Structure 1
Amino acid sequence: MPLKPIQSSSDYEAMLCEIDRLMEIEESQLSDDEASMLELLAILIEDYERKTYPMPNTATPHDVLDELVAAHQLRQKDLLDIFGSKGIASEVFNRKRGISKTQAKALGERFKVSPSVFL
C-alpha cells in the first residue's frame, strides 16, 4: 500500500483495513517494515480524523460536575455540605456562579478526582 496523505473517505477506509490487518499480527511476529507501516498508518489516520472529525471543546467544570452527579445518582441537595447553602448550590448548578477552590477541593475528595477538573 503506497503511503500518502488521506484525501478521501475511500482512502481512509483502505488505511483502516490495512491497520486492522497489521494489528491482527502478534507484535513479536511483525517485521520491521510492518511495524513501521503500522506506525505511519496510525499517524495518517489520526491526522485525517483530527481534520475531518474535530473534537468539541473540552468539558467545563460545570459539565464535569453535572456528569459526576448524574453518574453517582446524586441531586443538588446531596452536595449542600460542599456548597454550604441551597442558594449557592443552585447558582453553581445553574452556572450563575463558578466553583471556588475550596469547593473544588471538596468535590475532588467526594468524587475521588483531581480538584483541577472543577477549576
Structure 2
Amino acid sequence: MQTLVEQATKHWGYLAPLLSMPSDDAAYDARVDALDELLELIGDDESHPLASLASRLGDVLEAYDEEHRPIPDVAGSDVLRYLMQEHQISQSGLPEVGAQSVVSAILAGRRQLNWRQICGLSERFGLSTDTFKEPNPTRRVAG
C-alpha cells in the first residue's frame, strides 16, 4: 500500500488542480477544457484508465454549477411561451399540444401540459421531456 501512496504523492500536484473546486469562472473553464480533452482521449472506452478521472472531474464541475449557476425551476407553460416567441409560433401552430384554445389555457395556467403533449414538444424542439415538466413545489431555489 505504501507504494500506492508514494505514487499518489508523486503525481498529486498534477491531479489536485483538476479535482479541487474551481475558485472562479476562469478556473471552471480550464477544468471544462481538461474534461473535453480527457473525453476525446477516452472516447467510448469506459474501461480506459482515465475514465474515473473524467467522471470525478465531471462531478466537480457539476457541483460548481449547482452552487454558482443554479437552474431555476420553470413551469412547462413558461418554457412553451419562450419557445413560441423564439420560433415565432402562434398558438394555432402547435398541433403537438392541440387546438388554439388548449394552448391558450396552458399558457394562462388553467391547464398543465399532459404527457402526450410533453413528448410531442420534446420531439419537435429536440429537448428533454424534463424541460416541460412542472417544477417541484418543495424545492427551493436561491434567488
TM range (shorter): 0.5 to 0.7
Q: Which residue of 96, 111, 114 maps to 1:99?
A: 111
Q: Which residue of 50, 58, 65 maps to 1:42?
A: 58
Structure 1 spans left out of the alignment, 5+ residues:
84-88
Confirm or deny that 1:108 pairs with 2:130.
Answer: no
Confirm or deny that 1:6 pairs with 2:22.
Answer: yes
| Pairing of 1:41-80 with structure 2 (within 5 A) | 41-58=57-74, 60-67=75-82, 73-75=89-91, 79-80=100-101
Question: Compared with structure 1, are the counterparts of its residues 79 and 40 closer, same or farther at alpha carbon in structure 2 (3 Å cutoff)?
Answer: same
> Which of the two has greater helix per residue?
1
The structure that has the greater radius of gyration is: 1
The RMSD of aligned alpha carbons is 3.8
Q: Is the 8 A contact 2:78 2:107 kept in 1?
A: no
Structure 2 spans left out of the alignment, 5+ residues:
1-14, 93-98, 123-131, 135-143
Distance 1:69 1:14 in 2: 36
Q: Which runs of 4+ in 1 moved over 6 A?
A: none
How many residues were matched structurally?
Answer: 101
Distance 2:57 2:40 in 1: 14
Which one-letter code corresponds to 1:17 in the other structure? D
Residue identity (%): 18
Superposed CA deviations along residues 37-82 of structure 1, whole A, max 9, x for unmatched, are 1001000011111111111222x24324435655583336x523x4
Q: TM-score, normalised by structure 1?
A: 0.57
Q: Is the 8 A contact 2:38 2:54 kept in 1?
A: yes
Partner SS, residue 25 of structure 1? helix
Q: TM-score, normalised by structure 2?
A: 0.49
Question: Compared with structure 1, are the counterparts of its residues 108 and 20 closer, same or farther at alpha carbon in structure 2 (3 Å cutoff)?
Answer: closer
